[in-house]
């Protein structure tokens, strides 16, 4: 080892013929499988970042930093995959509108890696300008969005969008008890409310604008958290919370009522987390569309992510 040249050769560019002779631990004759010779459901790259293009409902194009997970299945007789091919597949489409090219990307790296299915996860923060309630102000609200795509060996393509909506939930029980104490005992009271999160997950075929999902959430729950707030806006928000008191069960059912009306949505799941100001624990609820294929048993990791986004 000590006799080897330790200098880095800036000018060395291997030819295609040289590259063919390079050792290939993944696919060469010495590709020994360690452990059980069984297939792997998903293997690939997680959380690599790329600026990708998204079209807004008004036609404007947004370039957003996107954290990407790309995976394929692996047959039992194969040691591994060429993971850089997944990343290169995204770079081939980085200037296109990603919603429109999702199936093409899946098909490309599924074929490149000779796999029987492929999956994509895109995670990004989506800005929507929101007006203040009463003052003449407005500001950007940012929404955590995830877009999932999957393509099976039979050619079945599925798209799922996850949208996180942060809102205030004023407790109906606390309100009534506070009003009783004011009226019957002349006590100054403040009923409790909390910042809450609804994760709306939808399966869709045709275009589903992120702005449409936001509007569904806003119409259902009304009390979205605010960006720029002056005194008149704070008063308005207090009134709004008083007009739309809700338990966590109410939030789930209100969202269900709006989502079931939208014919572009094939399937949906709603997860609500009311992050209590009265208790040291949260109140949670999950509701599914009729005959939903979504899982109703939500993992601890999902609940934890809902806590941390707000």
Whether residue 27 has pLDDT greater than 70:
no
DSSP string of the chain, one letter each residue: -TTS--S--TT----HHHHHHS--TTTSTT-PPPS----EEEEEEEEEEEEEEEE-TTS-EEEEEEEEEEEEEE-TT-----THHHHHHHHHTTTSBHHHHHHHHHHHHHHHTT-S-EEEEEEEEEEEEEE-SSSS-EEEEEEEEEEEEEE-TT--EEEEEEEEEEEEEE-HHHHHHHHHHHHHH-------EEEEEEEEEEEESS---HHHHHHHHHHHH--BPPSS--HHHHHHHHHHHHHT---HHHHHHHHHHHHTT-TTEEEEEEEEEE--SSSSS-EEEEEE-TT--S-SS--HHHHHHHHHH-
- pLDDT value for 29: 57
175-220 residue pLDDT tens? 898 989 999 999 998 888 899 999 999 999 888 899 999 999 999 9
Q: Which carries the bigger pLDDT value, residue 228 or residue 275?
A: 228
82-119 residue pLDDT tens? 778 888 888 888 888 888 888 888 888 878 777 888 89
pTM for this structure? 0.88
């Amino acid at each position: 080892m000590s006799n080897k040249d330790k200098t880095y050769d800036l000018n060395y560019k291997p030819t295609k013929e040289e590259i063919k002779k390079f050792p290939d631990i993944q696919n060469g004759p010495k590709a020994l499988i360690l452990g059980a010779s069984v297939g792997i459901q998903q293997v690939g790259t997680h959380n690599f970042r790329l600026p990708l293009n998204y079209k807004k409902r008004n036609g404007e194009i947004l370039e957003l930093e996107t954290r990407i997970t790309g995976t394929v299945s692996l047959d039992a007789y194969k040691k591994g995959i060429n993971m850089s091919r997944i990343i290169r597949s995204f770079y081939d489409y980085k200037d296109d509108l990603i919603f429109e090219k999702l199936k093409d990307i899946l098909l490309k790296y599924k074929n490149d890696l000779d796999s029987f299915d492929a999956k994509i996860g895109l995670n990004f923060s989506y800005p929507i300008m929101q007006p203040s309630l009463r003052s003449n102000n407005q500001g950007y609200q940012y929404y955590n969005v995830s877009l999932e795509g999957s393509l099976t060996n039979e050619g079945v393509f599925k798209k799922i969008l996850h949208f996180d909506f942060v809102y205030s939930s004023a407790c109906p029980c606390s309100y009534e008890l506070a009003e009783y104490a004011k009226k019957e005992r002349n006590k100054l009271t403040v009923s409790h409310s909390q910042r809450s999160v609804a994760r709306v997950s939808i399966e869709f075929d045709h275009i589903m604008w992120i702005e449409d999902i936001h509007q569904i959430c806003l119409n259902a729950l009304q009390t979205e958290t605010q960006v720029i707030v002056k005194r008149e806006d704070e008063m308005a928000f207090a009134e709004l919370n008083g007009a739309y008191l809700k338990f966590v069960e109410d939030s789930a059912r209100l969202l269900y009522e709006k989502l079931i009306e939208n014919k572009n949505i094939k399937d949906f799941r709603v997860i609500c987390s009311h992050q209590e100001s009265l208790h040291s624990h949260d109140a949670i609820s999950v509701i599914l569309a009729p005959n939903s294929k979504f899982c109703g048993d939500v993992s601890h990791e999902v609940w934890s992510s809902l806590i941390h986004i707000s």
